[in-house]
Amino acid sequence: MKLNYTSTEEVPQIVEDLRRSFFSNLTKPLSYRKNQLEQLYKLLDENDQELCDALQKDLRKPRTETMLGEIAMIKQEIYDSINNLDTWAKPEFVKVGIAHKLNKCQIRKEPVGSVLIIGAWNFPILLLLLPFVGAIAAGCTVILKPSEIAENCATVITDLFPKYLDQNSYRIVNGGVKVATVLLENRFDHIFYTGNGTVGKIVMGAAAKHLTPVTLELGGKSPAIVANDADIPITAKRILWSKIYNSGQTCIAPDYVICEKSVQEAFVKEVPRIVEELYGLDPQNSPDSSRVISQKHFDRLTDLLNKTEGKVVYEGNKDKNDLFFPATVVSDVPKNDSLMQEELFGPILPIVVVENLDEALEFIRSKDIPLAMYPFSNDEKTIQNILDNTRSGGVLINDCFMQFSVSTLPFGGQGHSGIGNYRGKRTFDTFSHERSVMTSPLILERLVEVRYPPYTEKKLNF
Ligand code: NAD
């Protein structure tokens, strides 16, 4: 399927149209927002097979993973947003001190304006539409820029969009770097970007020219810290599942394991049994195995693996033509190894061996703040020690991934793993401005006389 790119000449007009539309107040009534959220729900509900097919073509993503990991999550977010919108959008009356007792002070939740959402290819529907739900709920007009790399998904979404959603308020712009660059030259009221940190800096630089606030959902090397007392069979299964899921192309995948030597031995022993249990004896032909996105990424992973000084203790047959990169476990990986430089974003699991937990925590602190952290231990004190002595966007204890599915937890990074967060009400808040509105009564002018000149000592003793 060939994705049609939006022409760069068209982009400024689309931006202008949506800006005008915002100022016409079209998107402000709550009834309108709820209706458009219902329409988005319908789009997903009536076309799930088409969306699954597109993801199958782009990433060979299994239907179950698309239905549960992308479509069901967006539908739940829509459902929650419709049900809570009246409460979220309600003006909040604040308590005031004695000096303001006669004033009415409230915070109005107003849409920030016209916003841009840029999605990434690894969860091409989820990462585009999940923030979109909050932007609709907040009452913004929105330009969506899907990742051009997952081109089947971008094409299907672009086809379906005008059939369900109001084009006066929401538009899709397609393209690569050229189109994205032109988009970013324009002024938006918020930019929500998901992707890698290098482009994150470009987005932030472009936004700074207009003093536009940004949310940056980036990645990083998220560690799985396996303590000596961890339940190794369960730990290994959970880590391997989340590392192999989507061929490791998940921003919150555990990037590497860090543990003591004895734990590494026990962990490595479990690997063949678990991979076979999940993907059979021939993982390439398992219907549940996804693919890496492109030959470029396949080569990048192969190159990193060729350069490692660790021991490859588990691997399978790679097939570049089929973009199949098998689960690969590398033990005794030096801290400065090729596998420990960048986020791997593939199904390679390095294991770094340390003398003790303190050394593990020191190593984690020496690196950029990761998006996620996965401590595995049954000991409360060990967990507390890890939490107290590290930083990360989020933490999930004794499991991987599932923190993203809780819409009441903020999802986002810190430092190199991102700026801002979202999910549920927080997405609504991201695209809303808290506008202070104070109403002053005209009666009882006598009470405010104190502020007017001529100033006297008597007024100071008021
Ligand atoms: P990508 O290549 O799809 O790029 C993301 C978006 O940026 C695309 O829409 C692309 O067109 C746009 N883009 C590319 N170059 C640009 C430029 N010069 N100017 C403006 N826009 C540009 O995806 P990717 O970056 O390869 O995604 C993988 C990364 O994203 C990983 O680091 C991963 O950890 C991170 N990620 C983070 C999250 C999260 O929620 N925190 C989710 C998924 C992925």
Phi, psi at 397, each rounded to 5°: -90, 125
C-alpha of residue 149 to centroid of ligand 1, in Å? 10
The pLDDT score that the predictor gives to residue 461 is 79
C-alpha of residue 216 to centroid of ligand 1, in Å? 10
| Confidence class for position 200, pLDDT limits 50, 70, 90 | very high
User: Beta strands of 234-335 (E only): which ranges?
Assistant: 256-259, 311-314, 328-331
Q: Is the CB of 59 under 6 A from ligand 1?
A: no
C-alpha of residue 427 to centroid of ligand 1, in Å? 19
Judgement on whether residues 198 and 254 belong to the same structural domain of the protein = no
Judgement on whether residues 162 and 247 belong to the same structural domain of the protein = no
Beta carbons of 125 and 55 less than 8 angstroms apart: yes
**Which residue, judged by its Cα, is nearest atom 14 of ligand 1?**
177
The pLDDT score that the predictor gives to residue 460 is 83
Look at residue 453 and tell me if it is in a domain. Answer: no
For 436-449, write each residue's pLDDT tens digit.
999 999 988 888 88
Q: Is the CB of 119 under 6 A from ligand 1?
A: yes
Q: Where are the alpha helices (DSSP H) in 287-418?
A: 295-307, 357-366, 380-388
Q: Is the CB of 6 under 6 A from ligand 1?
A: no
**Identity of residue 305:** L
Q: Is the CB of 131 under 6 A from ligand 1?
A: no
The pLDDT score that the predictor gives to residue 444 is 80
Beta carbons of 253 and 402 less than 8 angstroms apart: no
Q: Is the CB of 195 under 6 A from ligand 1?
A: yes
C-alpha of residue 237 to centroid of ligand 1, in Å? 28
For 88-120, write each residue's pLDDT tens digit.
999 999 999 988 888 999 999 999 999 999 999
| Closest to 367 (Cα-Cα) out of 418, 415, 326 | 415
Q: Write the CB contacts of 40 (distance below 8 Å, at least 6 apart in sequence).
A: 74, 78, 129, 132, 133, 136, 164, 165
pLDDT above 90 (res 391): yes
Beta carbons of 38 and 142 less than 8 angstroms apart: no
> Do the interacting molecules here have an ipTM over 0.90?
yes
Domains of the chain: total? 2
Four-residue CA torsion sign, 402, 405, 406, 410: positive
Look at residue 388 and tell me if it is in a domain. Answer: yes
The pLDDT score that the predictor gives to residue 359 is 98
Judgement on whether residues 46 and 102 belong to the same structural domain of the protein = yes
Instruction: Tell me which H or E stretch contains 87.
Output: helix 72-89
Catalytic (active-site) positions: 217, 251
Q: Is the CB of 127 under 6 A from ligand 1?
A: yes
pLDDT above 80 (res 320): yes
Look at residue 141 and tell me if it is in a domain. Answer: yes
**Which residue, judged by its Cα, is nearest atom 13 of ligand 1?**
177
| Closest to 33 (Cα-Cα) out of 140, 143, 136 | 136
Q: Is the CB of 185 under 6 A from ligand 1?
A: no
For 209-251, write each residue's pLDDT tens digit.
999 999 999 999 999 999 999 999 999 999 999 999 999 999 9
**Which residue, judged by its Cα, is nearest atom 8 of ligand 1?**
147
Judgement on whether residues 35 and 169 belong to the same structural domain of the protein = yes
For 131-141, write each residue's pLDDT tens digit.
999 999 999 99
Alpha carbons 255 and 242: distance in angstroms, whole number: 10
CATH number of domain containing 363? 3.40.309.10
Q: Is the CB of 199 under 6 A from ligand 1?
A: yes
Judgement on whether residues 115 and 263 belong to the same structural domain of the protein = no
Phi, psi at 256, each rounded to 5°: -150, 160
The pLDDT score that the predictor gives to residue 143 is 98
**Which residue, judged by its Cα, is nearest atom 9 of ligand 1?**
147
The pLDDT score that the predictor gives to residue 264 is 98
Q: Write the CB contacts of 224 (distance below 8 Å, at least 6 apart in sequence).
A: 235, 239, 254, 256, 257, 258, 374, 375, 376, 400
Alpha carbons 243 and 249: distance in angstroms, whole number: 8
The pLDDT score that the predictor gives to residue 2 is 82
Could you tell me what percent of the chain has a pLDDT over 90?
A: 95
Judgement on whether residues 283 and 375 belong to the same structural domain of the protein = yes
CATH number of domain containing 31? 3.40.605.10
Judgement on whether residues 122 and 83 belong to the same structural domain of the protein = yes
Q: Averaged over 311-322, what is the pLDDT?
A: 97
For 171-185, write each residue's pLDDT tens digit.
999 999 999 999 999
Domain residues for the domain of 384 are 223-405
- Please count the other Cβ atoms lying within 10 Å of the Cβ belonging to residue 401: 18
| Closest to 298 (Cα-Cα) out of 324, 317, 279 | 324
Report the nearest atom of ligand 1 relative to the CA of 176.
11
The pLDDT score that the predictor gives to residue 1 is 65
Judgement on whether residues 164 and 199 belong to the same structural domain of the protein = yes
Report the nearest atom of ligand 1 relative to the CA of 252.
34
The pLDDT score that the predictor gives to residue 445 is 86
- Please count the other Cβ atoms lying within 10 Å of the Cβ belonging to residue 374: 30
C-alpha of residue 436 to centroid of ligand 1, in Å? 35
Q: Is the CB of 412 under 6 A from ligand 1?
A: no
Beta carbons of 218 and 295 less than 8 angstroms apart: no
Q: Is the CB of 122 under 6 A from ligand 1?
A: yes
Judgement on whether residues 183 and 237 belong to the same structural domain of the protein = no
What interhelical angle do 151-164 and 30-46 show, nearest 10?
A: 130
Judgement on whether residues 177 and 239 belong to the same structural domain of the protein = no
Could you tell me what percent of the chain has a pLDDT over 70?
A: 100
Mean pLDDT of the chain: 97
| pTM score of the predicted model | 0.96
SS3 content of the chain, % helix, strand, coil (to 5): 45, 15, 35
Q: Return the half-sphere exposure (C-beta side, CA atoms, 13 A cut-off) of residue 103.
A: 17
Alpha carbons 326 and 289: distance in angstroms, whole number: 9
**Which residue, judged by its Cα, is nearest atom 20 of ligand 1?**
180
Look at residue 462 and tell me if it is in a domain. Answer: no
Q: Averaged over 68-78, what is the pLDDT?
A: 97
Q: Averaged over 360-366, what is the pLDDT?
A: 98
The pLDDT score that the predictor gives to residue 271 is 98
Q: Write the CB contacts of 85 (distance below 8 Å, at least 6 apart in sequence).
A: 30, 33, 34, 137, 428
C-alpha of residue 201 to centroid of ligand 1, in Å? 11
CA distances from 371 to 41, 192, 237, 396 (A): 29, 17, 21, 11
Judgement on whether residues 193 and 307 belong to the same structural domain of the protein = no
3-state secondary structure (DSSP) of residue 312: strand
Judgement on whether residues 83 and 197 belong to the same structural domain of the protein = yes
**Which residue, judged by its Cα, is nearest atom 37 of ligand 1?**
218
Q: Averaged over 388-400, what is the pLDDT?
A: 98
Phi, psi at 393, each rounded to 5°: -60, -50
pLDDT above 70 (res 462): no
Look at residue 253 and tell me if it is in a domain. Answer: yes
C-alpha of residue 56 to centroid of ligand 1, in Å? 20
**Which residue, judged by its Cα, is nearest atom 18 of ligand 1?**
177
